[in-house]
Amino acid sequence: MFSGINAIQAAEAPIPLWPLGAPGALGNQQKDIPTLTPYVPDKPKGVAMLLIPGGSYSGIYEGQAEPFALWLNEQGITAFILRYRLGSAGYRYPSQLQDAVKAMRYIRGHSAKWKIDAKRIAVMGFSAGGHLVSSLLTNPQDGDIESTDENSQISSRPDLAILCYPVISMITKPHKNSRKNLIGESPSDELIRKTSSELQVKTGLPPCFVWHTNEDKLVPPDHSLLFATALHKFAVPCELHLYQQGDHGTGLIGTEHPWFDDLFFWLRAQEFID
């Protein structure tokens, strides 16, 4: 499934998303500088995937970053890892969403550089990264920064979205650490609802692939079920997989899990890859 491509050869240098400083930056250390790291396959198929790792909005879990970028490279998919600003560094919503919107616009705005079809750019997020994906889908306007930047008018809408055991709700069985890091200890009711993505779904969202496990003890499968139900209500194309076994993080690179094959079956059905 994964042959372990040499990471040093595969990764390009990280690209600072905000060369003049991120909006509301609290400093100029690494934690204040969100980046996008490209991974280009030997034989690219002209499609791209923005990868958003999880980590409870307190860190970037690297097991959901480079290993998946290299795995996608093996399928001919150009991958971009987003390392976004975190609640543990003092950044609250919508700072992370600003970074995700900026990343999507950067990839699409520079698609010719990497020979990417600007209409075949997907996004994949894990756990809290899945929540950031759901926010990018449902509330991109919250991450929109008025700017004269050349990419500011480019669409930040992904063409497909993959949510892996995502955090979704800040109301129903919320993941406490993700909620605290994203919206603080005493958020308003309005902010709680705005960041509960099951309440923000609307028509016209891109097709979604959502998966979870029944045994997930950290982020209950209710999150994926709530989101998939909302997608269905608004006629958004969605494929939902609820696997019987496996705790949070099941299905990482180096393990055998049916979601790998199920995902690529779906990507082919969406004509994302051949």
| Per-position DSSP letters for 223-265, written without gaps between them | HHHHHHHHHHHTT--EEEEEESS--TTTT-TTS--THHHHHHH
- Report the phi/psi class of residue 272: left, alpha or beta, with left for phi > 0 and alpha for psi in -120 to 50: alpha
Q: Which residues contact 157 (CB under 8 A, 6 or more apart)?
A: 104, 140, 206
Q: Could you give phi then psi for residue 270, rounded to 5 degrees?
A: -85, 0
Q: Could you give phi then psi for residue 125, rounded to 5 degrees?
A: -135, 150
Per the CB < 8 A criterion, the answer to whether 91 and 59 are in contact is: no
pLDDT digits (tens, 9 = 90+) for 9-39: 568 999 999 999 999 999 999 999 999 999 9
User: Residue 149 has what pLDDT?
Assistant: 65
pLDDT of 210 above 50: yes
Residue with tokens 């909620």: 179
User: Residue 8 has what pLDDT?
Assistant: 43
CB atoms within 10 A of CB 5: 18
User: Residue 153 has what pLDDT?
Assistant: 85
Residue ranges of domains in the chain, CATH in brackets: 19-269 (3.40.50.1820)
Buried b vs exposed e over 115-125: b needs ≥16 C-beta within 10 Å? Answer: ebebebbbbbb
Report residue 6's pLDDT band, with 50, 70 and 90 as the boundaries. very low
Mean pLDDT of 123-131: 98
User: Residue 146 has what pLDDT?
Assistant: 67
User: Residue 218 has what pLDDT?
Assistant: 97
Q: How far apart are CA 146 and CA 97, in angstroms?
A: 14
User: Residue 1 has what pLDDT?
Assistant: 53
Per the CB < 8 A criterion, the answer to whether 15 and 113 are in contact is: no
**In the structure encoding, which two tokens stand for residue 231, read together?**
């997608």
pLDDT of 115 above 80: yes
**In the structure encoding, which two tokens stand for residue 243, read together?**
């696997």
User: Residue 39 has what pLDDT?
Assistant: 97
User: Residue 147 has what pLDDT?
Assistant: 66
Q: DSSP string spanning 119-143?
A: T-EEEEEETHHHHHHHHHHH-GGGG
pLDDT digits (tens, 9 = 90+) for 215-270: 999 999 999 999 999 999 999 999 999 999 999 999 999 899 999 999 999 999 99
For the chain, the residue count is 274
Task: Tell me the percentage of the chain whose pLDDT exceeds 90.
Answer: 92
pLDDT of 107 above 90: yes
Q: How far apart are CA 162 and CA 160, in angstroms?
A: 7
Mean pLDDT of 169-197: 98
pLDDT of 77 above 70: yes
User: Residue 219 has what pLDDT?
Assistant: 98
Per the CB < 8 A criterion, the answer to whether 190 and 218 are in contact is: no
Report residue 152's pLDDT band, with 50, 70 and 90 as the boundaries. confident
User: Residue 171 has what pLDDT?
Assistant: 98
Q: How far apart are CA 124 and CA 121, in angstroms?
A: 10
- Tell me which of 6 and 36 has the higher pLDDT: 36
Residue with tokens 């919206």: 183
Residue 84, SS3? coil
